[in-house]
Amino acid sequence: MKKWVLFSAVLIAVAAITFVVSPATSASGPSKREVTFNKDVASILYNNCAECHRPNDIAPMSLLSYKEVRPWARSIKEKVVNREMPPWSPDPAYGQFTNDHRLIQKDVDTIAAWVDQGAKEGNPKDLPKMPEFVVGGWEIGKPDVVLQMAEEHVVKPDDPDQYINFFLPTNFKEDVWVQAAEVHPGNRRVVHHVIAFIQTPQMMAKRVDEAKTKGEKLGKRAAGGSGLFYLDGNLRRVKMDAPVVNNACDQKVAAGGRQPGGNGEGENEGMLLAGFAPGTGNTAYPAGTAKRVPAGSTLMFQMHYSAFRGSLKEAVTDRTSIGLIFAKQPPDKMVLTSAAANIMFKIPAGDGNHEVVACQTVPRDIQVINYMPHMHLRGKDMKYEAIYPDGRHETLLWVPKFSFNWQSVYWLKQPVNIPKGTKLIVTAHFDNSTKNKYNPDPTKDVRWGDPTYDEMMIGWMDITIDNPMKTVKPDAARASGQK
Ligand code: HEC
């Protein structure tokens, strides 16, 4: 994500320079003069598209050279005019985001004019320098520590979707504060997602004990004790006949989620450190904020492997790693990952607009720094709202067209202050009808589950709280049993 922040900074700089040196692109409009690839379009593509549209990245084609771009000219015009590219899902009416990389109107007009004029190449002397990408490098900067899965994992073409946990001891002798983290999937063709959880030594000890008692391998996905779930191979799914709660707002029953401001250590998975999903690979917290990894912790990679049903022709291996950059000093604010989630919904077969609601009453003053809506293939839209203690209502985020392919984190320009007692409401809609072209099976009722053919409903957010450890020396905190 940070790269988009950097990219927009570069974009602003480049836009400013362009404005100074070529006034023709302003008042009179670009259509009045000749627009060429070399002079006008290449820099727009380098700054806004190349990040994904380059060899071996997530987009289907590279858009660096004229030769590569020319065959796509019409399609490029269509996608930028319709605002489908670069991808950006939130409604701009709510919230301002540092990684909002929508094109400015002038650039859209330039691209449209260029295509209308026949998509000419122009004078080679006008071509700006191609951006340099560090292949396999770290976008967050040089990590202080890199941790990698101890062994390779093999994915075969006929493997079902799998969730597998891998454990990576940190061997950290003292608590560390993570300022930035970047997950490097070892094999992008089969790594569907990675979530790196922090497991304290106590949590690990409990896991080892449990695995021993059950005679199971450490890392096997557990069904969980609540009776809601069953295990289907390695996948956890909610039972079809489990109680149904579509609107979990008025319920006392916990329908999922993580308390904002709670430390999450009671949770089975532990504290979330960082993640990877298509479109999201790295995390850099604002200055003065960081996530804590207690001494002696283990990182648990929850890997979702998918052979994507037939698209894989031969067995491949993966060995995923994570790079961490530490804050130079204990931060003023501590970052925690929190979520409003509903795990008890049921989407009827064929329903084109099924509503699911999750709520949370905030137990302490918090600042929200980013949002990340998460659903699967039937996810349609998601809204985050706040009802403040004084009764004021505010829409925080509105994603009207959720895309499973773009599970982005939306980084707020300014943290949103949420006082204690605020009610956070996350509302999602799902399309389980035949109209949804991504729908794996419109004839089935759908419940929560790991596989992409089941659903999820999570309104993730990173929040900060005043760092309770700022005033306590780390050694003293440890000695007194605080973690
Ligand atoms: C964050 C990554 C990303 C960025 C930035 C991005 N694209 Fe894309 N683009 C993709 C991916 C992935 C696809 C294929 C899946 C899809 O269509 O969503 C795609 C698809 C396209 C397509 C359609 C290709 C087809 O097969 O029909 C065009 C055209 C396109 N992009 C142009 C652009 C242009 C022009 C820009 C910059 C102004 C841009 N994209 C920025 C990731 C990106």
Give ∠ CA 117-119-120 in degrees, rounded to 5: 95
132 DSSP assignment: P
- Work out the pLDDT band at 404, boundaries 50, 70, 90: confident
User: CA 265, CA 104: separation in Å to the nearest integer?
Assistant: 43
Q: Does a structural domain hold residue 427?
A: yes
- Kind of pairing, strands 333-341 and 289-293? parallel
Q: Does a structural domain hold residue 257?
A: yes
- The single-letter code of the amino acid at 134 is V
User: CA 378, CA 348: separation in Å to the nearest integer?
Assistant: 12
> 239 CA to middle of ligand 1, Å?
38
> 61 CA to middle of ligand 1, Å?
8
pLDDT of residue 269: 52
| Both tokens assigned to 156 | 């075969």
User: CA 264, CA 257: separation in Å to the nearest integer?
Assistant: 10
* List of long-range contacts for 4-7, beta carbons under 8 Å, 24+ apart: 4/51, 4/98, 4/99, 4/101, 5/98, 5/99, 5/284, 5/411, 7/47, 7/48, 7/51, 7/101
> 445 CA to middle of ligand 1, Å?
33
pLDDT of residue 154: 95
Query: Which is higher by pLDDT, 435 or 20?
Result: 435
Last residue of a domain, one of 110, 135, 160: 135
Q: Which of 68-72, 311-315, 330-334, 354-358 has the lowest mean pLDDT?
A: 311-315
pTM of the complete model: 0.82
pLDDT of residue 278: 65
Q: Are 176 and 279 within one domain?
A: yes
Q: Alpha-carbon torsion 38, 44, 45, 51, what sign?
A: positive
> 54 CA to middle of ligand 1, Å?
11
Q: Are 268 and 186 within one domain?
A: yes
- The single-letter code of the amino acid at 2 is K
Q: Which of 81, 75, 34, 38 minimizes the C-alpha distance to 53? A: 75
pLDDT of residue 308: 65
User: CA 263, CA 252: separation in Å to the nearest integer?
Assistant: 21
pLDDT of residue 192: 83
Q: Which of 59, 39, 40 minimizes the C-alpha distance to 49? A: 59
Q: Does a structural domain hold residue 482?
A: no
- Work out the pLDDT band at 405, boundaries 50, 70, 90: confident
Number of helices (H), then strands (E), belonging to the chain: the values are 7, 21
Q: Does a structural domain hold residue 436?
A: yes
Q: Are 265 and 345 within one domain?
A: yes
- Work out the pLDDT band at 304, boundaries 50, 70, 90: confident
Range of 18-27, 78-87, 241-250 with top mean pLDDT:
78-87
pLDDT of residue 246: 93
Q: Which of 350, 345, 379 minimizes the C-alpha distance to 240? A: 345
Q: Does a structural domain hold residue 483?
A: no
Q: Does a structural domain hold residue 290?
A: yes
Element (H, E) at 159: none
Range of 69-73, 341-345, 406-410 with top mean pLDDT:
69-73
- In this predicted model, what pLDDT tens digit does every residue of 136-155 receive, in sequence order? 788 899 999 999 999 999 99
- In this predicted model, what pLDDT tens digit does every residue of 41-62 receive, in sequence order? 999 999 999 988 988 777 789 9
- Work out the pLDDT band at 160, boundaries 50, 70, 90: confident
Placement of tokens 């996810």 in the chain: 379
Specify the ligand 1 atom closest to the Cα of 72: 29
pLDDT of residue 217: 78
> 108 CA to middle of ligand 1, Å?
14
Last residue of a domain, one of 109, 135, 161: 135
Give the residue numbers spanning the domain of 19: 1-27
Specify the ligand 1 atom closest to the Cα of 111: 35
Q: Which of 13-17, 24-28, 266-270 has the lowest mean pLDDT?
A: 13-17
- In this predicted model, what pLDDT tens digit does every residue of 245-298 receive, in sequence order? 999 886 544 455 555 443 333 344 557 888 887 666 688 999 999 999 999 999
Strands (E), 72-175: 145-148, 153-155, 162-169
Q: What residues have CB less than 8 Å from 152, skipping those under 6 apart? A: 186, 317, 318, 319
Q: Does residue 73 have its Cβ closer than 6 Å to ligand 1?
A: no
pLDDT of residue 101: 85
User: CA 407, CA 278: separation in Å to the nearest integer?
Assistant: 7
- Work out the pLDDT band at 1, boundaries 50, 70, 90: very low
219 Rama sector, left if φ>0, alpha if ψ -120 to 50, beta otherwise: left
Q: Does a structural domain hold residue 224?
A: yes
pLDDT of residue 274: 87
Q: Which of 52, 109, 110 to mutate to test the pocket of ligand 1 (most atoms within 8 A of CB)?
A: 52
Give me the half-sphere count of Cα atoms (radius 13 Å) on the Cβ side of residue 100.
16
pLDDT for residue 470 is more than 80 = no
Placement of tokens 């400015």 in the chain: 104
Q: Are 184 and 238 within one domain?
A: yes
Q: Are 56 and 178 within one domain?
A: no
Q: What residues have CB less than 8 Å from 437, skipping those under 6 apart? A: none
Q: Alpha-carbon torsion 439, 443, 447, 450, what sign?
A: negative
- Work out the pLDDT band at 169, boundaries 50, 70, 90: very high
Q: Are 17 and 47 within one domain?
A: no
- Work out the pLDDT band at 4, boundaries 50, 70, 90: very low
Q: Are 23 and 154 within one domain?
A: no
Assess contact for 147 and 322: CB atoms under 8 A.
yes
Q: How many distinct structural domains can be found in the chain?
A: 3
pLDDT of residue 3: 38
pLDDT for residue 28 is more than 70 = no
Output the CA–CA distances (angstroms, integers) from residue 90 to 99, 342, 412, 426, 472, in the order listed. Answer: 11, 21, 12, 14, 40
Q: Are 198 and 288 within one domain?
A: yes
Q: Which of 41, 69, 79, 101 to mutate to test the pocket of ligand 1 (most atoms within 8 A of CB)?
A: 79
Give ∠ CA 250-427-444 in degrees, rounded to 5: 100
Q: Are 418 and 378 within one domain?
A: yes
Q: Which of 50-64, 97-111, 234-248, 365-379 has the lowest mean pLDDT?
A: 50-64
Average pLDDT over residues 62-91: 95
Q: Are 130 and 46 within one domain?
A: yes
Q: Does a structural domain hold residue 479?
A: no
Q: Are 296 and 352 within one domain?
A: yes
pLDDT of residue 445: 98
| Both tokens assigned to 384 | 């985050």
> 79 CA to middle of ligand 1, Å?
8
- In this predicted model, what pLDDT tens digit does every residue of 190-226 receive, in sequence order? 888 898 999 999 888 888 888 888 887 776 666 665 6
DSSP lists the bridge partners of residue 183 as: 322
Assess contact for 9 and 48: CB atoms under 8 A.
no
Q: Are 402 and 352 within one domain?
A: yes
Q: Which of 356, 344, 327 minimizes the C-alpha distance to 467? A: 327
Q: Which CATH number do you get for residue 231?
A: 2.60.120.230
pLDDT above 90 as % of the chain: 57
Q: Does residue 242 have its Cβ closer than 6 Å to ligand 1?
A: no
Average pLDDT over residues 344-358: 97
Average of per-residue pLDDT values in the chain: 84
